Amino acid sequence: MKIAILGAMPEEIEPFLEKFECKKINYANNNFYFTNFKNHELIIAYSKIGKVNSTLTATIMIEKFKAEILLFSGVAGALKDGLKIGDMLSGSSLVQHDLDITAFGHPYGYVPGNPIFIDSDEKLNLIAQKTAKELDLKLLSGIIASGDQFICDEEKKEWIKNTFKADMTEMEGASVALVCDALKVPFFVLRTVSDEAGHKAEFDFDKFMVESAKISANFILKMIEKIN
């Protein structure tokens, strides 16, 4: 099976590239890496930050390189009370928090033709929970809110959390979810907390991002061992 592994930044895919010898193809101003693992062909890439970049990269991985499953591995800011740096969460559903046509009477996150929340693949989420149990790790499940903003403001953090009942915030997941939903490709989004999305989040992010990305990458590889 062809499995896409996507991150937003080089640091989020570096743990994968360190484990494998990969063939590299440059396409659309980006690099895509190919290797084999546990009877699967892996397609690995980082999209660059933001919803437009992640939409482009996810689409290429599916349409050009024929990925049959997409796994997103990366870091995110915590919204939910009690989430701490290093905690892992799988996105049960994803929403764009910065999508706003409320001037026309619509709710935040909505545009005609698209759902506000997009659910991730149930089978992959079950595999993730089984993986967590075997690794003796706690894997939470919840709503991830995406937008083209790095959230480091307490007021904005509270607004996103309260408006969408979101547990984490980042900058790519919901756009990847939209691509996968439209193209009928099962997807899974794993995020490890790198910061708490409020005051001083930018300092925590720089400090903990690399270690959090390693946690996510190791978990994703363990998941892949269970995918048939």
Residues 6+ apart with CB under 8 A from 104: none
- Return the residue matching tokens 């903990």: 208
What is the signed CA dihedral for 196, 198, 203, 208, rounded to 10 degrees? 10
Q: Which two tokens stand for residue 59?
A: 């689409």
Q: Side chain identity at 151, as an amino acid letter?
A: I
Task: Identify the CA nearest to 69 among candidates 133, 6, 158, 137.
Answer: 6
For residue 216, give every residue at least 6 positions away whose Cβ sits within 8 Å of its Cβ, in sequence order, or none. 12, 73, 74, 75, 88, 190, 191, 192
Which residues are catalytic, by number?
A: 12, 195
Whether the Cβ atoms of residue 66 and residue 151 lie closer than 8 Å to each other: no
Closest alpha carbon to 12 in 221, 225, 211, 171: 211
Q: Write the CB contacts of 81 (distance below 8 Å, at least 6 apart in sequence).
A: none
Give the span between the Cα atoms of 65 and 6, in whole angstroms.
Answer: 13
- Tokens at 202, concatenated: 């930018």
